[in-house]
Amino acid sequence: MKNRLSSNLLFGLATATLLSMPAFAQEAGAAVESKGPEVKFSGEVEFDVYTGDVLNDDKQSHEYASTFDLNVDVKFNEKWSASVQLEADGETTDPTAIYNGAFVQYTHNENAVVKFGDLTFSEGAFLNFYDYDDPADNAAGMAEHDIRGIEVDYRGIVFGLGFGRGGNDNQVCVEEDGEESCVGVAYDAHLAYELGLGESVLRPYVDYKSYQEAEHNELHAGLDANLKFGAFGLHAVYGLHADNLGEDTPNVTHAFLAEPSLELGIVNVKGTAFYAYFDEESPTVHGEEIPEYFFAYAEPSVSVLEFLTLGLPLEYHTNTVDVNEDVSTFDVGLRAYFTPVEGLEVTGFAKVEIPVGDDAGDTGLNLGLETVYSF
């Protein structure tokens, strides 16, 4: 009897083992597959259309802007990951897509991260004013500097070092004894520290760009502060911009930015006040980085529906970095923000531009429609 029971028990165990093998194999295969890299796609698309001045026949026109950003993030394991970006951007309906950088990242823990590859640094961006909010072009602290090198993030300290790339990989030329020689081996060193104080953050920074030529190195330094006090917020920036370190000219530019905001339920108010001090005779100017020496902007808005907000922008612009030019304007209009679903924003606006300066031209009316969606 015992032998029969033993035989039946062995037979049952064998049968159960055979029946479980396909499920076990499937689970094992899934485990093997899960060890491969995880790939995630994300990005943003923007397509805009603008009119010129519709009130004056000689200025009537239409303009476009289009942007496509695609990010591909690869996670190899809990420590190692990588990313690559493609970008198409231009004032046209068909900008050309180009490689925009790639890097590899090692995450030791939440307080220690190392990246190497194509990196970008910017400081003191305009956050509230819609027309200057792209740090690739404008910033009170420092517009984007692209490098190919290394970045170390450790407990709030950010350090980057590498050779300039893209628009940051430019040349300087000097003339000696009637002969011009150009230096094009630029490298960039960036250092910043993020100090968290409750909901507020202070970020001192310094960026040194060297052309490896004694008289043509540049420096950006300053403080970017994001302060939060309940419903009131303040973004404040001081930026120092200096070229040709060690020489008497050009002279340092000082930039000051204050961006208050107030959130009161369905009513919000945001604003921007910016001033840059340029030396009149020999200023430090970096392209469009600082778009004008002074402007002020305020926009109260109200959410009339869950998906629709109306804003009333009020703006004063000097429209120049030359304090001797008198081309200032006062702008007033209406902005409508339509957000039917998360990730989709449609903004329409009408803006009247009223001349204030003697050389500012005629009163104009500009219209525009901007559509942005992310995925």
**How large a percentage of the chain has pLDDT more than 70?**
90
Which one has a higher pLDDT value, 89 or 173? Answer: 89
Q: Please report the pLDDT score of residue 334 as a whole number.
A: 98
Local confidence band at 184 (pLDDT 50, 70, 90 cut-offs): low
Question: What value, to the nearest 5°, has the Cα angle with vertex 273 and ends 139 and 128?
Answer: 60
Question: What is the C-alpha separation between 3 and 8, in angstroms, rounded?
Answer: 9
| Burial of 211 (C-beta count, 10 Å sphere; 0-12/13-18/19+) | buried
Q: Please report the pLDDT score of residue 167 as a whole number.
A: 85
Q: Please report the pLDDT score of residue 172 as a whole number.
A: 73
Q: Please report the pLDDT score of residue 111 as a whole number.
A: 96
Whether residue 106 has pLDDT greater than 70: yes
Q: Beta 157-164 vs 142-154: how paired, if at all?
A: antiparallel
Tens of pLDDT, residues 244-281: 887 888 899 999 999 999 999 999 999 999 999 998 88
Report residue 276: phi and psi, to 5°.
-125, 130
Let me know: does 322 contact 285? Beta carbons within 8 Å: no
Helix-strand-coil percent breakdown of the chain, rounded to 5?
10, 60, 30
324's tokens: 């001797």
Local confidence band at 193 (pLDDT 50, 70, 90 cut-offs): very high
Residue 365: its H or E element? strand 364-374
Question: What is the C-alpha separation between 138 and 121, in angstroms, rounded?
Answer: 13
Residue 29: its H or E element? helix 2-34
Question: What is the C-alpha separation between 374 and 339, in angstroms, rounded?
Answer: 12
Which one has a higher pLDDT value, 222 or 9? Answer: 222
Closest CA to 153 of 114, 182, 206: 114
Contacts 24+ apart (CB under 8 A), 5-14: none
Local confidence band at 4 (pLDDT 50, 70, 90 cut-offs): very low
Which one has a higher pLDDT value, 117 or 21? Answer: 117
Whether residue 19 has pLDDT greater than 60: no
Local confidence band at 31 (pLDDT 50, 70, 90 cut-offs): very low
Question: What is the C-alpha separation between 29 and 367, in angstroms, rounded?
Answer: 58
Tens of pLDDT, residues 130-163: 999 999 999 999 999 999 999 999 999 999 999 9
Neighbouring residues of 127: CB distance < 8 A, sequence distance ≥ 6: 133, 235, 259
Predicted TM-score (pTM) of this structure: 0.86
Which one has a higher pLDDT value, 208 or 247? Answer: 208
Tens of pLDDT, residues 50-69: 998 998 877 778 999 999 99
Whether residue 224 has pLDDT greater than 90: yes
